[in-house]
């Protein structure tokens, strides 16, 4: 690192698990939690590391490393997605698992937190290789997952096909069809209406509340979206088609595009489906992908990976509201800068909780073999998100703090209460 970069970007903690623990401590201090409770809630209950041998198309065998972490199960079975990405680490999965604990508690669904990950580059693998990787990973984590133990779901670079393979593998191992072992499944396999867009739709409901308390109207509001996967792309579609917002900037993992008058979202979705990227989109100018975080806008949605907004770029962020569609995109140090500047930030454990909330509805439907209409899913999700926003906003007001600390206060107090009434075994 050159001296210049070293001075330009002050040192800050970037390890996601350490960050998750810092976020927890802020709430623990507000709640005056004793040290024993802090120790219990800060650490992951169970961490499984597996080696996954996969026959590649060329005939050779590659061994991948995979993880499944269960952070806390005080309020119900562990719940959380599985990520396939070359940058996955055990500490990242531990952070993501703990964020799931707080997320499920924030929206009041009866789960703890879990997460899984495999270190691999799915973009360079064939469908056959991915299927074999997924099935062997599912087999390796089979002893600790199940509808009443730990329920995986999609996350970065996994989707409903991945979930179908896991459900089938676990069903083969157990000897009967086990619908509720994963959520985010295809509709044909006990998936739920509305699960595909649920993360984005839940975020839209939270953003509407944020706009209401901030006196901002979403019609024609300028929106920048950093990350154009399931969450970011669906959010662009919903916020423009349902609320008439103007999506001015989009970035995916390869490129950024900008048009101050508004990017045609349908055209962007088609272009992405056809070419795999937003690069080269007509009627939009190319910009470096990380500049999408810095365009002047009313609403910024970091929808990619952790640590997108740090001390290195937070001074250049020019949004009025930030809604974290990704997990962990803003560091604690950047949080403080944004709060001091009056930016309203909807934290991940609230803003992107719509995904796991509809996962919960899917799991309930699977248990009853009775399936809901899309309208019922949407209405119930809206109720859940509005209630969660109100709870978090009230906690933030009460402690005169930001919405992240407000959400952690709500979540940590719920998990701490469950832990203390259960007691410590034995």
Q: Which residues bind ligand GLU (CB under 6 A)?
A: 79-81, 153, 155, 183-184, 327, 352, 355-356, 359
Exposed, middle or buried by CB within 10 Å (0-12, 13-18, 19+), for 319? buried
The tokens describing 328, both together, are: 């962990």
41: helix, strand or coil: helix
Q: Omega into 426 within 30° of 0, i.e. cis? A: yes
Complex with ligand GLU: residue 294 or 348, whichever CB lies closer: 348
What does the buried/exposed string (b/e) look like for 136-168 if buried means 16 or more CB atoms within 10 Å of the residue's CB?
Answer: bbbbbbbeebebeebbbbbbbbbbbebbbbbbb
Complex with ligand GLU: residue 325 or 416, whichever CB lies closer: 325
Q: How far is the CB of 364 from ligand GLU (least distance, A)?
A: 13
Catalytic, 115? Answer yes
Angle value at C-alpha 155, between 50 and 392, nearest 5 degrees? 120
The tokens describing 17, both together, are: 């698990």
- Give the other-Cβ count within 10 Å of 76's Cβ: 17
- Minimal CB distance residue for ligand GLU: 81
Complex with ligand GLU: residue 103 or 414, whichever CB lies closer: 103
Q: Are 132 and 63 in contact (CB under 8 A)?
A: no
Exposed, middle or buried by CB within 10 Å (0-12, 13-18, 19+), for 318? middle
Q: Which of 103, 115, 185, 272 is catalytic?
A: 115
Q: How far is the CB of 82 from ligand GLU (least distance, A)?
A: 8
> Look-up: residue for tokens 């909780």?
353
Listing DSSP states for 336-397 in one string gives: HHHHHTT-EEE-HHHHTTHHHHHHHHHHHHHHHT----HHHHHHHHHHHHHHHHHHHHHHHH
Estimate to the nearest angstrom the gap between the alpha carbon of 103 and the chain centroid: 9
Q: How far is the CB of 352 from ligand GLU (least distance, A)?
A: 6
Complex with ligand GLU: residue 295 or 350, whichever CB lies closer: 350
Q: How far is the CB of 425 from ligand GLU (least distance, A)?
A: 26
Closest CA to 99 of 421, 355, 337: 355
Angle value at C-alpha 329, between 324 and 331, nearest 5 degrees? 120
Q: How far is the CB of 280 from ligand GLU (least distance, A)?
A: 29
Complex with ligand GLU: residue 129 or 306, whichever CB lies closer: 306
Q: How far is the CB of 102 from ligand GLU (least distance, A)?
A: 11
Complex with ligand GLU: residue 255 or 323, whichever CB lies closer: 323
Q: Which residues are catalytic?
A: 115
């Amino acid at each position: 690192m050159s001296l210049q970069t070293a001075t330009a970007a002050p040192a800050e903690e970037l390890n996601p698990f350490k960050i998750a623990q810092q976020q927890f401590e802020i709430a623990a201090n507000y709640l005056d939690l004793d040290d024993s409770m802090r120790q219990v809630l800060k650490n992951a209950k169970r961490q499984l590391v597996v080696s996954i041998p996969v026959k590649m198309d060329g005939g050779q065998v590659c061994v991948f490393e995979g993880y499944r972490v269960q952070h806390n199960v005080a309020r119900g079975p562990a719940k959380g997605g599985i990520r396939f990405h070359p940058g996955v680490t055990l500490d990242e999965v531990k952070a993501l698992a703990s964020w799931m604990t707080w997320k499920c508690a924030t929206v009041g669904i009866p789960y703890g937190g879990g997460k899984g990950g495999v270190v691999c580059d799915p973009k360079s693998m064939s469908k056959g290789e991915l299927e074999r990787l997924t099935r062997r990973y599912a087999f390796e984590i089979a002893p600790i997952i199940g509808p009443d133990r730990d329920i995986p779901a999609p996350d970065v670079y996994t989707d409903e096909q991945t979930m179908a393979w896991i459900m089938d593998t676990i069903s083969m191992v157990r000897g009967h069809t086990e619908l509720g072992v994963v959520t985010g499944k295809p509709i044909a396999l006990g998936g739920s209406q509305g699960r595909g867009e649920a993360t984005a739709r839940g975020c839209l409901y939270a953003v509407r509340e944020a706009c209401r308390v901030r006196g901002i109207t979403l019609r024609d509001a300028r929106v920048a979206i950093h990350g154009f996967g399931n969450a970011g792309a669906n959010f662009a579609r919903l916020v423009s088609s349902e609320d008439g917002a103007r999506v001015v900037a989009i970035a995916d993992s390869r490129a950024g595009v900008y048009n101050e008058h508004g990017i045609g979202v349908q055209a962007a979705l088609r272009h992405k489906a056809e070419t795999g990227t937003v690069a080269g989109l007509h009627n939009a100018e190319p910009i470096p992908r990380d500049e999408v975080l810095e365009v002047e806008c009313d609403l910024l949605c970091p929808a990619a990976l952790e640590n997108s907004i740090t001390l290195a770029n937070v001074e250049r962020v020019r949004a009025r509201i930030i809604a974290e569609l990704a997990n962990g995109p803003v560091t604690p140090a950047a949080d403080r800068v944004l709060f001091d500047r009056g930016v309203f930030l909807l934290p991940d454990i609230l803003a992107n909780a719509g995904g796991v909330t509809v996962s919960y509805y899917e799991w309930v439907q699977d248990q009853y073999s009775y399936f809901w209409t899309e309208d019922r899913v949407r209405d119930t999700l809206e109720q859940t998100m509005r209630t969660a926003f109100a709870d978090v906003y009230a906690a933030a007001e009460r402690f005169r703090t930001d919405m992240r600390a407000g959400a952690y206060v709500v979540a940590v107090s719920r998990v701490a209460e469950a832990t203390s009434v259960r007691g410590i075994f034995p």
